[in-house]
Structure 1
Amino acid sequence: MKISKIKNILIIGGDKITLSILPLIKKNFNYLILSSKRNLSTIVDGKTLEKHFKEKEIKFKKINNLDNSVDFNHKFNSNASIYLCMSSPWIIKKKSITKIKSLILNSHSTRLPEYRGGASFSWMVMNRVRFGFNNLYIIDEKIDTGKIIFYEEFLYPLNLNSPKAYFDYYVNKQVDFLEHVFLKLKNGIKNIFPVNQTEYMSSYFPRLNSDLHGWADWSLDFEDLSCFINSFGAPHNGCCTYYNNKKVYLSKVSPNYEDAKFNSYKSGLIYRKGPSWVCVAGTNGSLIIEEVFHRNKNIIQELKIGDRLYTPSKKIDKKFKRVFYDSKGLVKN
């Protein structure tokens, strides 16, 4: 496969990584960002992505429908252009892929074909993932199934325990990776060999919503529960449960291997308290919890030995419901 010298880059979506690679793109390419309400309202370093774009005088357009975009269908449609999806809220349809002359690439953060889908960093925390990947693959009509054209593997540090910690580490790796790729694309590539994904090794995980899915199930094994709680940590509010009829958010949780094992009835019971933490019984073990927030205040010092953290079964049942997002945000159904 040959890639012509690239002069134009059309970014579809937009995120924190987009902000970081734009200086190089602005210097070397003609570019435009087609973004959505959902992307532009994302908070990056205390400001919305839209505000960053305006302050930095970045060329972007806010659209609802990608298929109707003149820029997508005509203006950038040439062999000298690359379409780059960065947290794109749109699934590009087969008829659009067929008529676009440009190479349409998607940036993905997992070891494809594993972890196709969304909410990648929360799923990674849940499953204690160490292997990180920078992937660029050629878009096809399905989700995350295209041929991989560039990739790089790395290890996440052992001490990462929140989606934000994973993402921040990934951002630095991905920015270096993309900058290297773009400089190659600028000069064209005579021979490159896209790699098919091995379908029988694939897995797909859907998007999550912290208000619906982020409820602590105290019947889970203590190690699994620790990872589950942390998977809804920063940038999310935390994992939800109740304490004395108050909805609270848990974060900064670790499995405790130094105390006795507990039976499942004791799960959620606060059995010891330290200067800035509590020890809570779990199934087959226990948890060390450092943050319990209620109304934006860490109430860890207010928790009492003998009290219990608990989640009503109706909340547990609802967390198995699937959610969907479009370019505007969460789809209500």
Structure 2
Amino acid sequence: MVSFDTTERVVAYGAGEVLVEAIKTARELGFEVAVVTAPRQAEAEIDGEAMVDLLRSQDVETVVTDDVNQSSQVNELVGRQTVGLSFGAAWIFDESVIDAHNGRLVNFHGSRLPQDRGGGGFSWRILRDDPLGYSQAHLVTPSIDTGNILLTDEYRFPESCTTPVEYAAYANEKEAEIVTELLEGIAGGREFETTSQPEYLSSYWPRLSTEEHGYIDWEWSLKEIVQFIRAFSDPYEGAKTFVNGIEVRLKQSESFRGDGTFHPFQTGILYRKDDQRGYVATPDGSLIVESVRDEDGEEILSDIAVGDRFYTPTERLRQARRTRVYFTPTGMQREEHDS
């Protein structure tokens, strides 16, 4: 059991709409509030405004720091009566910060633990065709996503969710519910029963970058291609491939089998189009695409001729598989392995 008695202040770490709502709820419950965020997260847009500006306009003390573990401003904020709430925080908290919170530092994770540790959550879920959602609150340890679980809400995404932005919007509503449950429980003196994570079930999935990983392999099945395009659709730039020597991005795709199947050598050929969509051949059927944009974001489907072929050079596919990305407090870093 875990108790949060004598809590006076709530410090939220990270960014996002749920963080902003959590701060509002904590204030309404009578807690002092503050936010700690990283430079790359401070400018995240919330209601058309940079998060850091929005919070400061509401008189919320907001600290922007590269290193939460070495910040004197954070040290001044945190005390034994402080509960920390992490929403996609950009750092790995070390033991000194956890101890400063008296162990009362909680992370909100938007997928199942311990099976879905790590990042890239909604894109990985779309790739796996996984319709189940999880909002979980767990205690923070120096290792990633390993602490005991305090609260869990399991749900099913509606069929209308097909892109990461749609998954995220629905998941945010669910996450906000357990944030409120936690804060109201803290205010009411509730003791939370904890559940340990069985390590033998654990899996870790790395971060994804559309720029590095978003290349379509036209040897995949039609279903796999549709899943991949959806996984890198809004809010991302779209899955990438080439046509007529130009790199393009595809969004808003679906499968169609009304024209039958095609020989593998026909794969990628745009065999029909109208004013709204194009039909691309694959061995399993047709890929319908409604958006083809060039690197400048201009819609160019109307400029692509029937008979032109979408393709992805083998080297781009190899590079995508040998590149790993990390998101630091200041931005993305890539690590490429030559062999």
Length-normalised TM-score, structure 1:
0.93
Give the stretch that moved more between structures: 15-24 or 117-126. Answer: 15-24
- What SS does the aligned partner of 1:324 have? strand
Alignment of 1:289-300 (within 5 A): 289-294=289-294, 295-300=296-301
Partner of 2:19: 18
- Matched residue pairs, number? 331
CA 1:18–1:99 in structure 2 vs 1: closer, same or farther (change >3 Å)? closer
Give the stretch that moved more between structures: 15-24 or 104-113. Answer: 15-24
Unaligned runs of 5+ in 2: none
Q: Residue 45 of structure 1: CA displacement?
A: 3.9
- Aligned residue identity for 2:279: C
- Aligned residue identity for 1:86: F
Q: 2:334 and 2:157 mapped to 1: Cα distance?
A: 35
Q: Residue 143 of structure 1: CA displacement?
A: 1.1
The percent of aligned pairs where both chains have the same amino acid is: 25
Q: Residue 332 of structure 1: CA displacement?
A: 4.9
Partner of 2:71: 69
Q: Which of the residues 317, 322, 325 maps onto 1:323? A: 325
Q: Residue 87 of structure 1: CA displacement?
A: 1.0
Q: 1:102 and 1:73 mapped to 2: Cα distance?
A: 15
CA 1:68–1:309 in structure 2 vs 1: closer, same or farther (change >3 Å)? same
Partner of 1:245: 245
Partner of 1:59: 61
- What SS does the aligned partner of 1:67 have? helix
Alignment of 1:153-168 (within 5 A): 153-168=154-169
* 1:273 maps to 2:268: no
- What SS does the aligned partner of 1:128 have? coil
Partner of 1:212: 212
Alignment of 1:94-243 (within 5 A): 94-98=95-99, 100-189=101-190, 191-243=191-243
Q: 1:258 and 1:145 mapped to 2: Cα distance?
A: 48
- Aligned residue identity for 1:33: V
Is the contact between residue 219 and residue 283 of structure 1 (CA under 8 Å) also seen in structure 2? no
Give the stretch that moved more between structures: 133-142 or 267-276. Answer: 267-276
Unaligned runs of 5+ in 1: none
Q: Residue 130 of structure 1: CA displacement?
A: 1.1
Give the stretch that moved more between structures: 174-183 or 317-326. Answer: 174-183
Is the contact between residue 151 and residue 178 of structure 2 (CA under 8 Å) also seen in structure 1? no
CA 1:236–1:45 in structure 2 vs 1: closer, same or farther (change >3 Å)? farther
CA 1:257–1:177 in structure 2 vs 1: closer, same or farther (change >3 Å)? farther
Is the contact between residue 83 and residue 101 of structure 2 (CA under 8 Å) also seen in structure 1? no
- Aligned residue identity for 2:301: I
Q: CA offsets per residue over residues 28-68 of structure 1, 9 Å max, x none?
A: 21111111101112233443222322333332011111112
- Aligned residue identity for 2:260: A
Q: Residue 96 of structure 1: CA displacement?
A: 4.0
Partner of 2:51: 49
- Aligned residue identity for 2:233: G
Q: CA offsets per residue over residues 112-136 of structure 1, 9 Å max, x none?
A: 1122101111111212221111110
Q: 1:94 and 1:145 mapped to 2: Cα distance?
A: 14
Partner of 1:86: 87
Q: Residue 283 of structure 1: CA displacement?
A: 4.0
Is the contact between residue 81 and residue 102 of structure 1 (CA under 8 Å) also seen in structure 2? no
Q: Residue 98 of structure 1: CA displacement?
A: 4.4
Is the contact between residue 12 and residue 23 of structure 2 (CA under 8 Å) also seen in structure 1? no
Q: Residue 95 of structure 1: CA displacement?
A: 4.8
Length-normalised TM-score, structure 2:
0.92
